[in-house]
Structure 1
């Protein structure tokens, strides 16, 4: 079964231009760049552009997974609630003959735009290369396995697969998450104790395997 890719809110926020626009909602991350290109110049794309790189879960009803609704005070009818203005694929408040409704699925229900999951909780860790003494502070998703964290770290060390990863001298199971490896998330404890969590970031040590086949 295919495992989804997880993203931090910060990673989503970096995609905030008209040529590269991501949003997140209801726990998922969407690349709406193709949608924006398709409706380029249309005023109905403006609310999406204004929220580029942000979480827009408040636009949706978590139960129905559809746009929030309200009762129109004038007509008494249930209509979509779009306080930032009507946007693409939302029908007009009143019947109109010029509204193009030939799309098959509204974009918020279209899986073609999904690129992954939004992390419910991110964590900061320190990765220490014992061979070079280099240290890298990294924000990761709590749902990620060590192998997925390794993929993030490859940006800083392309030979990361040639190391054994350990915490407190115990070799980590790369198929498990930090928590599953016994590395607790102590952010809440630090917050309640008014301790600066940046001073006590959990560390992972990398030990070179001295195996040229891994290079």
Structure 2
């Protein structure tokens, strides 16, 4: 639990919506092969370079289809005219992709290509997100927030701080049971029922699981 004066630690799991929010020239994120990357420094480094165009067009999106899941490299195809291998870049050649023919101004001394460089990595893309209703029993206020299924209750608490800065001053319960804050929703017995409800033609919003917050009579600073 974060305390006063200490920075909060993000779980490092992100929703696709959170990635999509970073889609400008000065703040550009992408996701691929299950991870999330902040390419803003790369964009700044190559500002004005035509090879940035495919990356800018894909800002905030998942580009896993650009890559081979086994090799973690850009997909390879066979050129039908030369019968030689080349990178598959349907949106056009981009930064760190070699030219199709030898060029005197092409330098490959950049080290790792950006898609394999861990310095751009900021976290993981959630495999499945969930909508959870959180009810403050003291104020009767409630919010439905999107969370990552991989996150612990402490991570969800950090997300909820946007609505209640004293969220850590509450006991979190589900069906009358105190939740283990170091465990995920599923590990606390709050199963994801969206698929079941969908198969029964029942609207998930009408059966949203609710977490109840009970005030502890102290104002924990975060």
TM tier, smaller: over 0.9
Residue 92 of structure 1, CA deviation: 0.6
- Cα distance, 1:4 vs. partner? 5.5
Q: How does 1:18-57 map to 2 (within 5 A)?
A: 18-57=25-64
TM-score, normalised with respect to structure 1: 0.97
Cα distance in 2 between the residues matched to 1:153 and 1:144: 13
C-alpha offsets along residues 100-123 of structure 1, whole Å, 9 cap, x if unaligned? Answer: 322011000000000000000000
- What is the match of residue 194 of structure 1? 201
Of the candidates 106, 116, 124, which is equivalent to residue 117 of structure 1? 124
1:136 paired to 2:139: no
Q: Which runs of 4+ in 1 moved over 6 A?
A: none
Distance 2:172 2:134 in 1: 9
Deviation at 1:24, TM superposition (A): 0.2
Quote the Cα distance in structure 2 between the aligned partners of 1:96 and 1:111: 28
Return the offset for 1:193: 0.9
Pairwise CA distance, 1:191: 1.1
Q: Which runs of 5+ in 2 are unaligned?
A: 1-8
Assess, with a 3 A threshold, how the Cα gap between structure 1 residues 41 and 3 changes in structure 2: closer, same or farther: closer
Which one is further off, 141-150 or 194-203?
194-203
- Could you tell me whether the CA contact under 8 Å between 2:11 and 2:155 is conserved in 1? no
Q: 1:17 to 1:3 in 2, by over 3 A?
A: closer
The alpha-carbon distance between structure 1 residues 3 and 127, as it changes in their structure 2 partners (threshold 3 A), is closer
Residue equivalent to 2:4: none
Task: Tell me the distance in 2 between the aligned counterparts of 1:69 and 1:107.
Answer: 17
Deviation for aligned residue 1:150: 0.3
- The secondary structure found in structure 1 opposite 2:134 is strand
Instruction: Report if aligned partners of 2:133, 2:211 keep a CA contact under 8 Å in 1.
Output: yes
Given the two structures, how large is their TM-score scaled by the length of structure 2? 0.94
CA deviations 1:131-188 (Å, max 9, x no partner) are 0000011000000000000000011100000000000110000000000000010011
1:99 maps to 106
Count the aligned residue pairs: 213
| Aligned-residue CA RMSD (Å) | 1.2
Query: What's the counterpart of residue 5 of structure 2?
Result: none
